[in-house]
């Protein structure tokens, strides 16, 4: 069977009986274990996968399928508890922790839909970077690169690389400042960040609770819709495909195009022209709230730093700090300087800016802009220059962290290529709890965004 099959295409084969889940699982495990980049997966959960595949096979053979996802493979970022496996959060300091006694809530939800969990994917240590670099386990290669070893983006680096390389049709990541949408854009796959709280967070190792969200990385918007439904325990999707003539987009003129690579802007604007040709209304306007976020961070620090420091404070005061990625330690320690009054100022301003942003949107309008201002950069220069690393990390996170701070949901869809033929992402976003409307629009716009219509 060829790789890079979507969930939808695999479902047809499995539900029809043409492909047995046991065979599909064995082929998937063989691809993973034989892949030339062993940084993509931190652990292959073969015993679990074989057990789940056998159960799915029996259900389907006897006419008791659990639905469209029954028997299909899924991989998990190493932040999700999987019963009988250690959740290390990409860090060597947690490798001797007890094995998880139970699945995380979303792992249990996809297991309940019949999905086969094949392993844990690589990530930035403690999910604290947008680049995907991990000095302990290695940095996955970006499968889209045809020249040098380019980063896949982070922190859900292995999840995106696993899908882009055709190892699995679906991997689940987390997104605190862009960690689903960034690697999706860099590797040329679809990445959907749900509204914070759309899925149960039980059993997910945190970074910053006020910002953490989850989402699937996959090959199509349709696959994201199917995964989303199962992740919050629906037996089937309820999202309808919108009509392009019903849709309106606004393109921000603030921040998101600053210092953007010319090829990225060209690819995005070409996608906008195709979307307009399909009948979508498009306008442009400034968003002062976007600039205000960065002003707040300069004055008071970042929410993510404050909350990450609170989480890791004792770890940084222990011998474990010397075993951690020094760049992660540096970023976490920034939170030590954030006072309680700074934190309260950030929280209060955040609520105000969420409302101000919503008031600048017309009824039913979605926000559209490039997911990133640049394509995936080469790895080697980042490893050799800390100043370049931190500058690139900040630039990489810039466009997407706006959505986390303002509590958006968002989906990155490939829209073309930029420098070195690397993928460019088109980010559609909506205010919080408008996920179904966002996914409805994404289903309608995926083809013109990709240039397939």
Strands (E), 36-130: 41-44, 73-77, 116-121
Distance CA 150, CA 119 (A): 23
The one catalytic residue among 91, 129, 156, 179: 179
99 is catalytic: no
CB 389 within 8 A of CB 327: yes
Between the CA atoms of 211, 217, 221 and 225, what dihedral angle is there, to the nearest 10 degrees?
Answer: -70
The one catalytic residue among 155, 157, 429, 440: 155
CB 275 within 8 A of CB 248: no
77 is catalytic: yes
The one catalytic residue among 5, 77, 213, 412: 77
Query: Residue 131: what are its φ and ψ, rounded to 5°?
Result: -105, -25
Closest by Cα among 58, 54, 67 to 23:
54
Q: Is the peptide bond before 192 cis (omega within 30 degrees of 0)?
A: no
Determine how β-strand 409-417 pairs with β-strand 423-430: antiparallel
Going 273 to 453 to 263 to 180, the CA torsion angle's sign is positive
Distance CA 170, CA 227 (A): 8
Q: Catalogue the active-site residues.
A: 77, 155, 179
């Amino acid at each position: 069977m060829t790789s890079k099959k979507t969930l939808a295409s695999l479902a047809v084969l499995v539900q029809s009986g043409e492909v047995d889940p046991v065979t599909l699982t064995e082929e998937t495990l063989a691809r993973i274990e034989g892949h030339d980049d062993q940084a993509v997966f931190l652990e292959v959960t073969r015993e679990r996968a074989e057990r789940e595949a056998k159960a799915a096979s029996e259900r389907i053979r006897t006419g008791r399928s659990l639905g469209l996802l029954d028997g299909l493979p899924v991989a998990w970022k190493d932040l999700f508890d999987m019963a009988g496996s250690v959740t290390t959060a990409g860090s060597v300091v947690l490798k001797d922790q007890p094995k998880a006694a139970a699945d995380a809530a979303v792992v249990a939800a996809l297991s309940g839909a019949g999905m086969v969990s094949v392993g844990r994917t690589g990530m930035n240590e403690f999910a604290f970077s947008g680049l995907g670099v991990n000095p302990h386990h290695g940095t996955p290669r970006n499968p889209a690169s045809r020249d040098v070893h380019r980063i896949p983006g982070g922190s859900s680096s292995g999840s995106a690389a696993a899908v882009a390389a055709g190892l699995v049709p679906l991997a689940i990541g987390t997104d605190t400042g862009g960690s689903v949408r960034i690697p999706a854009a860099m590797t040329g796959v679809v990445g959907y960040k749900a509204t914070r709280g759309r899925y149960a967070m039980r059993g997910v190792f945190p970074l910053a609770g006020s910002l953490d969200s989850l989402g699937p990385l996959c090959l199509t918007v349709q696959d994201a819709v199917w995964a989303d439904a199962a992740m919050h325990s629906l037996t089937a999707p309820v999202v309808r495909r919108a009509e392009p003539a019903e849709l309106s987009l606004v393109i921000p003129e603030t921040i998101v195009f600053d210092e953007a690579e010319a090829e990225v802007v060209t690819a995005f604007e070409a996608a906008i022209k195709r979307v307009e040709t399909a009948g979508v209304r498009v306008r442009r306007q400034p968003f002062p709230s976007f600039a205000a976020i960065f002003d707040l961070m300069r004055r008071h620090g970042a929410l993510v730093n404050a909350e990450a420091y609170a989480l890791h404070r004792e770890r940084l005061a222990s011998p474990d700090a010397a075993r951690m990625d020094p760049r992660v330690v540096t970023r976490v320690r920034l939170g030590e300087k954030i006072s309680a009054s700074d934190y309260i100022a950030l929280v209060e301003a955040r609520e105000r800016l969420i409302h101000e942003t919503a008031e600048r949107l017309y009824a039913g309008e979605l926000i559209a802009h490039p997911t990133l201002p640049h394509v995936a950069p080469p790895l080697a220069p980042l490893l050799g220059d800390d100043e370049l690393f931190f500058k690139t990390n900040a630039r990489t996170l810039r466009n997407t962290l706006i959505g986390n701070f303002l509590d958006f949901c968002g989906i990155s869809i490939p829209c073309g290529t930029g420098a070195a033929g690397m993928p460019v992402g088109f980010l559609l976003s909506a205010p919080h709890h408008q996920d179904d409307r966002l996914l409805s629009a994404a289903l309608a716009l995926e083809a013109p965004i990709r240039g397939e219509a």
